[in-house]
């Protein structure tokens, strides 16, 4: 996605997108950022990882030359977001750092129009790139695939996990951060408690999305993750970390937000069987539980009104 031109690293396909469509923020997924809001989801092509289970391989692992891409300026995308009634823009589908200048130019334009921008990322980037994302993205969902360097080597094709952990810790200080862990049956399912402790030690208010990864791409022969066993492990992890979610199967009871103090459900969602969920209603009163008044860690935009009420 980059080339050296006249001694400078430049994007080969600036402002060129594989995806732009309106969706709900819960489906991306973000559960604690602007609940119920409409997002313009954008993405390009390519990734700096080679995950054997990539569920977006059709864009992440395909050569951009082979895809139907759309050239759209930041101005046009922001206009599309506004015409589609979107409250924010999210770079997802593939890895944001393979199109960093385009993503940042879009975030700058979005800011001029009062639209916050967020992104999904695997977190594997230099400190400088992480600093740029931290400056320009209001909310991020970083994929923490495992705490094991061997997992990253064997299943993601990278030799070092340290940049991912360093960047997660940096984003947690400066940005609204959510973390996603795709669970691969019999590969990283034993790490649930350890990852929950790692996140709690950074900030217990970070929402953690555990994603039931269906066998995909080069791992089609693997078993489907066992919902009951993972749920059992998550019950225990719930004593460590208050905001744990589990999706990608129909009827998941793990997609609503409960007050960590009194247990009342404060944001109701329904699982449609895919990534994330759909908002049913948001009972929070100025980010506080209507039952006991406990503050719930949710990024809100009260000036624009809260959808789902
Ligand atoms: S980081 Fe995500 S998009 Fe990139 S190869 Fe891995 S699963 Fe695919």
Distance (angstroms) between ligand 1 centre and the Cα of 61 equals: 8
Cα separation of 237 and 215, whole Å? 24
Cα separation of 180 and 198, whole Å? 13
227 membership: H or E segment, kind and range: helix 227-237
Distance (angstroms) between ligand 1 centre and the Cα of 265 equals: 33
Query: Which distant-in-sequence residues (6+ apart) come within 8 Å of 264 by Cβ?
Result: 258, 283, 289, 290, 291, 292
User: What is the number of the ligand 1 atom nearest to the C-alpha of 156?
Assistant: 6
pLDDT at 25: 97
pLDDT at 217: 86
Distance (angstroms) between ligand 1 centre and the Cα of 56 equals: 7
Indicate the top mutation candidate among 45, 51, 151 to test ligand 1's pocket, ranked by most ligand atoms within 8 A of CB: 51
User: What is the number of the ligand 1 atom nearest to the C-alpha of 61?
Assistant: 5
- Joined together, the tokens standing for residue 283 give 């009972």
Query: Nearest C-alpha to atom 2 of ligand 1 is from which residue?
Result: 54
Cα separation of 266 and 263, whole Å? 9
**CATH number of the structural domain 2-255:** 3.20.20.70
pLDDT at 215: 84
pLDDT at 122: 98
pLDDT in tens, 126-143: 999 999 999 999 999 999
| The residue count for the chain | 309
pLDDT in tens, 33-82: 999 999 999 999 999 999 999 999 999 999 999 999 999 999 999 999 99
pLDDT at 92: 96
pLDDT at 309: 44
Binding pocket residue ranges, ligand 1, CB within 6 Å: 47, 49-51, 54, 56, 60, 94-95, 122, 156
pLDDT band at 307 (very low <50, low <70, confident <90, very high): low
Return the domain boundaries, the chain: 2-255
pLDDT in tens, 157-184: 999 999 999 999 999 999 999 999 999 9
pLDDT at 308: 45
What are the φ and ψ backbone dihedral angles of 62, each rounded to 5 degrees? -95, 150
Query: Nearest C-alpha to atom 6 of ligand 1 is from which residue?
Result: 51
pLDDT at 293: 98
pLDDT in tens, 72-129: 999 999 999 999 999 999 999 999 999 999 999 999 999 999 999 999 999 999 999 9
């Amino acid at each position: 996605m980059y080339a050296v031109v006249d001694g400078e690293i430049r994007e080969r396909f600036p402002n060129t997108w594989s995806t732009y469509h309106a969706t709900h923020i819960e489906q991306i997924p973000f559960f604690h950022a602007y609940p119920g809001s409409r997002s313009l989801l954008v993405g390009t092509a390519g990734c700096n990882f080679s995950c054997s289970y990539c569920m977006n391989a059709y864009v992440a692992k395909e050569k951009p030359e082979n895809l139907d891409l759309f050239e759209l300026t930041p101005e046009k995308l922001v206009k599309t977001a506004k015409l589609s009634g979107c409250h924010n823009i999210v770079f997802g589908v593939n890895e944001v750092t393979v199109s960093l200048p385009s993503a940042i130019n879009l975030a700058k334009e979005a800011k001029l129009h009062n639209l916050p921008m967020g992104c999904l990322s695997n977190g594997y980037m230099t400190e400088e790139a992480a600093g740029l994302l931290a400056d320009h993205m209001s909310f991020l969902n970083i994929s923490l695939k495992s705490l094991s360097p061997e997992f990253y080597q064997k299943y993601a094709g990278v030799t070092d996990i340290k940049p991912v952990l360093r960047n997660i810790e940096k984003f947690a200080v400066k940005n609204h951060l959510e973390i996603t862990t795709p669970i691969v049956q019999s590969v990283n399912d034993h790490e649930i408690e350890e990852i929950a402790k790692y996140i709690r030690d950074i900030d217990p208010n970070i929402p953690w999305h555990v994603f039931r990864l269906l066998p995909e791409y080069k791992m089609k022969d693997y078993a489907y993750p066992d919902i009951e066993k993972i749920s059992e492990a998550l019950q225990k992890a719930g004593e460590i970390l208050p905001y744990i979610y589990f999706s990608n199967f129909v009827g998941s009871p793990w997609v609503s937000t409960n007050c960590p103090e009194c247990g009342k459900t404060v944001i109701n969602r329904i699982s449609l069987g895919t990534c994330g969920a759909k908002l049913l209603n948001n009972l929070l009163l100025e980010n506080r539980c209507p039952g006991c008044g406990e503050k719930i860690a949710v990024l809100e935009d009260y000036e624009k009104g809260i959808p789902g009420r």
